[in-house]
Homo-oligomer: A and B are copies of this chain.
Amino acid sequence: MAAEQQNRQQTYVVRKAEPQDSNQIYSCVEALASFHMSELDPGRSPESFLKEVFGEDTICQVLVATTKTDRSTIVGYGLFYRAYSTWTGPALYLEDLYVTPAHRGKGVGKLIWQNIVQIGFETGCKGVRMTVHMWNKQAKNMWEGLGCVDLSEKRHEHFLFYTIQGKRSIIETAFQTEFEG
């Protein structure tokens, strides 16, 4: 009972992620993939993640949440990058928002989200883009409750993906076109 009460009183802080947080965040990424009943692509590793997300050439920005009393244990993260629309201007693209199971339902996700919106506001962004799986009703309700508009419903906008890897023949076709770089 005392532990539960203490848990309820726990307060959280959000800060920018540092390279030393990388392994913990990667564990969260694996848990998020598992939650989506999916697996990370072959070849993904803590090493590739560290390099891509915290390397010099990165486009990623990451915020992490911890408790106020233990600021080295990550209990949630948000990963996003800059996006752009010719119609509306600069935006952010929220790729992942994740909270560890033990800390859910306490506003941690919302706290991370608010800080991402704050960064967007300060950098002149018009809005935040993201995708959500329809089966994840909890996530969809949360986003719509926060004021997000489902463009797939409203404007029948579908989200597509073209896989480059393993399509070398198409690439070779492109090579043959007259391209002046």
**A residues adjacent to B (C-beta < 8 A):** 11-16, 29, 32-33, 38, 40-41, 43-44, 48-49, 52-53, 59-60, 68, 79, 81-90, 93, 95-96, 111, 114-115, 117-118, 120-121, 125-135, 140, 143, 146-153, 155-165, 167, 170-171, 173-175, 177-181
Contact = CB atoms under 8 A, between A and B. Distances in A.
Copies of this chain, count: 2
B151 A152 contact: no
Contacts of A165: 126-127
Contacts of A140: 158
B89 A44 contact: yes
B89 A128 contact: no
B87 A40 contact: yes
Given A133-B155, A158-B150, A161-B151, A86 B82 contact: no
A14 B127 contact: no
4 cross-chain pairs, A with B, having the tightest CB-CB distances, nearest first: A114-B174, A134-B156, A152-B158, A15-B180
A89 B60 CA distance: 11
Given A149-B160, A159-B131, A87 B44 contact: yes
